Amino acid sequence: MSDDALSHLINDEPTRVVVIGGGMGGLAAARDLARPGFEVTLLEASDRLGGSVQRLDLTLADGEQLTVDAGAESFATRGGHVAAYLDELHLGDQVVQPNAAGAWLQLPGRAVPTPKGGLLGIPSVPLATDVIEAIGWGGALRAYLDRLIPPLKIGQERNLGRLVERRMGRAVLENLVAPVTTGVYSASPDQLDVAVVAPGLNQALTRRGSLSGAVTEVRAGGPSKAGSAVGGITGGMWRLPYTVITDARRRGADLRTGARVVGLELRDDAYLVHIAGDDEPIVADAVLVDVPSAEALPLLASVSPEIDALAHAGWPSATSVELVTLVVDAPALDSAPRGTGLLVSDRVDPAMVSAKALTHLTAKWAWVAEHLPAGRHVLRLSYGRAGTENESVAMSDAALKARATSDAAALTNIPLSESDVVGFARVQWQNAQPLAAVGQRDRLASLAAAIEKVPGLEVTGSWVAGTGLASVIPHAREAAARIRGLRWRKLTDADG
């Protein structure tokens, strides 16, 4: 760039950017955009920033205080994106690994350790002892027949549930794969696209001749590619958004809460962002949207006829998920009888257990246990499955506390009563239909192509990027980089 263009960059009016939504994607983008030449305003409708990465402050029955995560309590290490970001934020030296004991599976009438060496519950060694323990000799022998079935053609089966059942049988599908996908994606295997949840698996199947061989090959690429490795932060993942918020504000970003965006217009190369209760819209040169699909689509629809048509194409609704945190005085839990927690099969009688998962936080994370006396434990239960109504939402605190205590006792096989509970909290989240859902990737690709035609418009968040921080953070940062590039291109064009 010439000296004149560089001078123009320094002295020119800043590029005005509005970020709609203060989840981790919006925060990461706002921080990246907050630099000389940009005026960044982030608008969050709620009173808290960070989306599903939040802190939960508990006052226990004896007056003690405890802070844990209200939402995400770990991050997937795949790709290394989150770890690199934490290093950039000077949090890298506080990354910790969970207890290697791993989780268990709650099956009808019994609980078993999750077999090692699998991918999304698909075993790499069908006749391994832990696989036989989980699905029995009959199920394991049926899974072993996978090695005798001719391989599928590349891309022939996109549906994960059908692929697993066809190759390995219903025992593997129902007892191993379904509990894992419900816990990770809040969706059944029949709803998930193989190419999204297990990239390269179909191709490896063709090369290796069996699904178990394909799992071995994909896992050989490293734990991050298998999606099994996770990390956390000492003190809780909530420290990530707090650090990003502090740094974004230090750089000059204006981060506002209680600012609900109700309209978005594009007029004469400028965006008008309308906020509830404000007569005057904010004028912007670029807009990045980081809100759930139900809120994002109506805003995007007003920007172009093509997006409007796609926005009304029958998008799936979000799934309601509720997390219940129990702090219990139960010395019998010191031995971590179910490892770091359990994933619950949807074949388990809901009258016996209605939670879809339990995380034993004091067994999973050493830093949680260090903040508590011996015999005191933190359990977190998750309620709500895709495609079904979440009955916990309508329950009173007292009823849900009783239900969660009963579920925790059944899952850990430890007698627990409400008198053992010294702390209780409930938090509700809305999970978007996962990017991994069959058909969702194609729908989003069409939307992304339409958005790309509108200069200065970007969309991020889990509904377009994929589940978890490992997907959301790099997606949001790439969107921010494109907005930054827009300013440089304009200045280069002016210089030319």
DSSP 365-395: -HHHHHTS-TTEEEEEEEE--TTS--GGGGS
CB atoms within 10 A of CB 35: 13
CA 318 to chain centre: 13
Residue 410 region, left (φ>0) first, then alpha (ψ -120 to 50), else beta? alpha
Number of domains in the chain: 3
* DSSP sequence for 28-55: HHHHHH-STTEEEEEEESSS-SSTT--E
Q: Tell me, what amino acid is at 448?
A: A
Please identify which residue in the block is written with the tokens 């099969």: 345
Alpha helices in 45-91 (DSSP H): 81-88
Residue 237 lies in a domain: no
Please identify which residue in the block is written with the tokens 């805003």: 299
Those residues whose C-beta lies under 8 Å from the C-beta of residue 86, and which sit 6 or more positions away, are 92, 94, 95, 233, 240
| Boundary (domain end) residue, out of 389, 413, 431 | 431
User: Are 187 and 326 found together in one domain?
Assistant: no
CB atoms within 10 A of CB 287: 26
User: Are 201 and 218 found together in one domain?
Assistant: yes
* DSSP sequence for 178-220: HHHHHHHHSS-GGGBBHHHHSTTHHHHHHHHSSHHHHHHHHHH
Which one, of 492, 44, 1, 19, lies nearest residue 285 by Cα?
A: 19
Task: Report helix, strand or coil for 67.
Answer: strand
Work out whether strand 319-329 and strand 286-289 pair parallel, antiparallel, or are unpaired: unpaired
Beta bridge partners of 170: none
Residue 34 lies in a domain: yes
User: Are 112 and 223 found together in one domain?
Assistant: yes
Distance, first Cα to last Cα, the chain: 10
309 is in which domain, residue-wise?
3-48+242-316+435-495
Those residues whose C-beta lies under 8 Å from the C-beta of residue 479, and which sit 6 or more positions away, are 29, 288, 458, 459, 460
User: Are 215 and 249 found together in one domain?
Assistant: no
Residue 97 lies in a domain: yes
pLDDT of residue 223: 43
Residue 233 lies in a domain: no
Q: What is the reported pTM? A: 0.90
Residue 236 lies in a domain: no
User: Are 264 and 323 found together in one domain?
Assistant: no
| Boundary (domain end) residue, out of 431, 454, 478 | 431
- Tens-of-pLDDT digits for all 496 residues of the chain? 444 444 444 557 899 999 999 999 999 999 999 999 999 999 999 999 999 999 999 999 999 999 999 999 999 888 899 999 999 999 999 999 999 988 999 999 999 999 998 999 999 999 999 999 999 999 999 999 999 988 766 557 889 999 999 999 999 999 999 999 888 887 889 988 888 888 889 889 989 999 999 999 988 875 433 334 799 999 999 999 999 999 999 999 999 999 999 999 999 889 999 999 999 999 999 999 999 988 999 999 999 999 999 888 777 777 778 999 999 999 999 999 999 999 999 899 999 999 999 999 999 999 999 989 999 999 999 998 766 778 888 899 999 999 999 999 999 999 999 999 999 999 998 765 566 677 788 888 899 999 999 999 999 998 899 888 999 999 999 999 999 998 766 655 555 5
User: Are 148 and 246 found together in one domain?
Assistant: no
Residue 442 lies in a domain: yes
pLDDT of residue 316: 73
Task: Report helix, strand or coil for 230.
Answer: strand
Cα–Cα dist 66/178, whole Å: 34
Alpha helices in 238-365 (DSSP H): 239-250, 293-301, 305-311, 361-364
Q: Residue 199: what are its φ and ψ, rounded to 5°?
A: -55, 135
pLDDT of residue 269: 85
Q: Show the tokens assigned to 167.
A: 């190759």
| Boundary (domain end) residue, out of 431, 449, 470 | 431
User: Are 340 and 420 found together in one domain?
Assistant: yes
Task: Report helix, strand or coil for 321.
Answer: strand
